[in-house]
Structure 1
Amino acid sequence: MKVYGDDPVEVKCRVISRGRGRGPLLVSDEPLSFLGGVDPSTGEVIDRKHPLHGRSMRGKVILIPGGKGSTVGSYVIYQMARNGTAPAAIICLNAEPIIATGAIMAGIPMVDRPSEDLLGVMEDSMEVEVDAEEGKIRF
């Protein structure tokens, strides 16, 4: 892990869904399926095989490699936003259409292709800001 000291870090990335979101980080090195993997009424990961099982995304910034599964996952993300259980922002290493479409429909700030390997740098619970207007992640 790199050591940054007390100085804030800014990482460039590609904007997928515009907006700004801030919150504690929830990290997984495994892709996530929203359909059948996340309960939209609570925001909790319900896929028993996923490392985030039992954890809530509500109000958090999530960092995942990408998504997987059915295109209905886009609607699950939209439903989470309507239910108030959605993440504050999404960071994908490499976005795919399912999560990108869901984030856009739901108005959730989303970025991908960070200029640095964030899985090797960022840790659960650290405070993170996603600026999906300027294409920057700050922590």
Structure 2
Amino acid sequence: MTTETFVMKGKKIVTGKASGEAIVTKEAISFNGGVDNMTGVVTEPGHELEGQNIAGKILVFLTGKGSTGGSYKIYDMVSRRTAPAAFVQVTPEGVTTIGAIIGNIPVVAGLDQDPTAVIRNGDFVELDADAGTVAVTRRASNG
């Protein structure tokens, strides 16, 4: 097994650093009704991540959607330890940004590559929002 590492540059939306396993969707996410705040499992019917747990992972996604109640759901998830460790977004918006601010979840967006196209589920991601960097390490077989 070999590893491949690449770094993307973007802009800080919410300060902080985090690292962990990536979970990726090209779809928007609603935290108010689309994610179970008690468990961190995506519950929105038909969503690309339906049934998967985002707790403690680096959530790579298009953008947030839904009502402002989602901000409070994100904050509640932080208190329950069911929230993602960080957000890597294509396009930031108010609901997820406010939730991240009040929950101290680091966020980077506006990257020089589409993160939903180049980051894969299971990649190891190190995010430094202050520097605006997202470093991705992928295990690759020699085979």
Task: Deviation per CA, 1:55-77: give whole Å up to 9, x if none.
Answer: 11111001111011001000000
Task: Deviation per CA, 1:85-119: give whole Å up to 9, x if none.
Answer: 11011011010000000001100011111111222
TM-score normalised by structure 2 residue count = 0.91
What is the match of residue 54 of structure 1? 51
How many angstroms apart in 2 are the aligned matches of 1:120 and 1:39? 26
What is the match of residue 138 of structure 1? 135
TM-score normalised by structure 1 residue count = 0.93
Task: Deviation per CA, 1:4-31: give whole Å up to 9, x if none.
Answer: x845211111111111111111000110
Percent pairwise identity: 37
What is the match of residue 32 of structure 2? 35
What is the match of residue 140 of structure 2? none
What is the match of residue 103 of structure 1? 100
Q: Secondary structure at the match of 1:59?
A: coil
CA displacement at 1:38 relative to structure 2: 0.6
Q: Where do 5+ consecutive residues of structure 1 fail to align?
A: none
RMSD (Å) for aligned C-alpha atoms: 1.1
Q: Where do 5+ consecutive residues of structure 2 fail to align?
A: 137-143
Match for 2:22 among 20, 25, 42? 25
**Which residues in structure 2 correspond to 1:112-123 (within 5 Å)?**
112-123=109-120
